């Protein structure tokens, strides 16, 4: 579990539009890396390239490399479905499958991957995943009730359980707390802190306090103007980014002067 990501000169396109240009960075295992930057600078776009979710959009493609423990995700013959099993994703809005029970939601990704499980193995996996996402105690007596009947914060933890049930190496999270109240947000942050002992975690956030609370390393992305590509401006230890960044634009952004 938990793998190192190395990105080499990645360019990300939507058809003719170069959305993100020339990103190179290393993301260490068992750590939390935060992506910050103004709206439209390409954080979500870049994040989705780390598990080949970008290319599900028609005409979207990348050039460059993303290596997971040395293996290029974009190499010839690599199956994107297998990539997404290793690199899981949690989205901004909790998106449990509304017609499925809590139990079925946790198992949804596992079933998609065609793994046949006995009832007792499935029960174990459901319990382990829900414990892993800190939701077990709240839902253990209602596993057959719809996932959509949970609160927003519980739904987001259900989605995290669904993501970890497939036993990925990396967890990508795109603004996972933006639809949540402060208490649920803190619960997710605590959870991220626990999960990093097992996973490589990348989180996009607009919340500077959150970035400084949860992440070890922070990457600041910026954009020179509309229609221009987003770029990685500075990438360093979170404490450095928030106290003594090298670039003026990073300092302006983290101190709230723009964005
Ligand atoms: N499906 C798409 N097709 C074409 N262009 C897109 C698509 N999705 C995003 N873009 C463009 O790519 C650029 C980067 O968008 P992206 O959503 O990655 O930004 P972001 O940094 O995540 O912004 P936010 O903080 O608002 O979520 C923007 O110019 C956006 O309009
Ligand atoms: Mg985004």
- Considering every ligand atom, which ligand is closest to the CA of 20? 1
pLDDT by residue (tens digit) across 101-125?
Answer: 999 999 998 876 666 788 999 999 9
Mean pLDDT throughout 213-231? 97
pLDDT by residue (tens digit) across 41-96?
Answer: 999 999 999 999 999 999 999 999 999 999 999 999 999 999 999 999 999 888 99
Residue 55: partners with Cβ closer than 8 Å, 6 or more residues away = 61, 62, 80
Least confident range from 5-14, 128-137, 233-242: namely: 128-137
User: Band of the pLDDT at 215, cuts 50, 70, 90?
Assistant: very high
Closest atom, ligand 1, to C-alpha of 45: 18
User: Exposure pattern of 58-73 as b/e (b: 16+ CB <10 Å)?
Assistant: eebebebebbbeeeeb
Least confident range from 14-18, 174-178, 179-183, 199-203: namely: 179-183
CB 57 within 8 A of CB 14: yes
What pairs with residue 222 in β-bridges? 231
Select from 14, 20, 232 the residue to mutate for testing ligand 1; criterion: most ligand atoms less than 8 Å from CB: 14
Which protein residue's CA is at the shortest distance from atom 17 of ligand 1?
A: 44
Mean pLDDT throughout 7-23? 98
Which protein residue's CA is at the shortest distance from atom 16 of ligand 1?
A: 42
Q: Report the pLDDT value the prediction gives residue 115, as an integer from 0 to 100.
A: 66
CB 189 within 8 A of CB 34: no
Question: What is the CA(19)–ligand 1 centre distance, in A?
Answer: 7
Which protein residue's CA is at the shortest distance from atom 28 of ligand 1?
A: 40
- Considering every ligand atom, which ligand is closest to the CA of 36? 1
115: its two tokens? 């793994």
User: Band of the pLDDT at 144, cuts 50, 70, 90?
Assistant: very high
User: Band of the pLDDT at 129, cuts 50, 70, 90?
Assistant: very high
Closest atom, ligand 1, to C-alpha of 43: 21
- Considering every ligand atom, which ligand is closest to the CA of 230? 1
Residue 45: partners with Cβ closer than 8 Å, 6 or more residues away = 12, 14, 19, 20, 54, 230
Q: Report the pLDDT value the prediction gives residue 180, as an integer from 0 to 100.
A: 85
Report the percent of the chain where pLDDT is more than 90: 88
Q: Report the pLDDT value the prediction gives residue 181, as an integer from 0 to 100.
A: 86
pTM of the model: 0.94
**Which residues sit with their C-beta closer than 6 Å to ligand 1?**
14, 17, 19, 37, 39-45, 57, 230
Q: Report the pLDDT value the prediction gives residue 59, as an integer from 0 to 100.
A: 97
Which protein residue's CA is at the shortest distance from atom 8 of ligand 1?
A: 45
Higher-pLDDT residue of 182 and 202 is 202
Q: Report the pLDDT value the prediction gives residue 5, as an integer from 0 to 100.
A: 98
Q: Report the pLDDT value the prediction gives residue 112, as an integer from 0 to 100.
A: 66
Residue 259 in this model has a pLDDT that exceeds 60: no
């Amino acid at each position: 579990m938990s793998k190192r990501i190395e990105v080499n000169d990645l360019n990300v396109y939507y058809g003719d539009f170069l959305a993100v240009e020339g990103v190179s960075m290393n993301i260490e295992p068992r750590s939390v890396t935060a992506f910050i930057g103004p709206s439209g600078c390409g954080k979500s776009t870049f994040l989705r390239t780390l598990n080949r979710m970008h290319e599900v959009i028609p005409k979207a493609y990348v050039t460059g490399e993303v290596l997971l423990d040395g293996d290029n995700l974009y190499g010839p013959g690599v199956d994107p479905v297998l990539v997404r099993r290793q690199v899981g994703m949690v989205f901004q809005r909790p998106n449990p499958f509304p017609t499925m029970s809590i139990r079925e939601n946790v198992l949804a990704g596992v079933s998609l991957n065609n793994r046949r499980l006995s009832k007792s193995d499935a029960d174990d996996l459901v319990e382990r995943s829900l414990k892993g996402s800190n939701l077990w105690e709240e839902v253990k007596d209602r596993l057959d009730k719809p996932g959509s009947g949970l609160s927003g914060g519980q739904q987001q933890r259900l989605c995290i359980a669904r993501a970890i049930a497939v036993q990925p190496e990396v967890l990508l999270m795109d603004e996972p707390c933006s639809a949540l109240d402060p208490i649920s947000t803190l619960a997710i942050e605590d959870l991220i802190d626990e999960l990093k002992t097992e996973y490589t975690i990348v989180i996009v956030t607009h919340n500077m306090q959150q970035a400084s609370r949860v992440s070890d390393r922070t990457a600041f992305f910026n954009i020179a103007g509309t229609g221009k590509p987003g770029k990685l401006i500075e990438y360093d230890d979170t404490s450095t980014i928030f106290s003594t960044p090298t670039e003026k634009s990073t300092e302006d952004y983290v101190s709230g002067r723009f964005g």
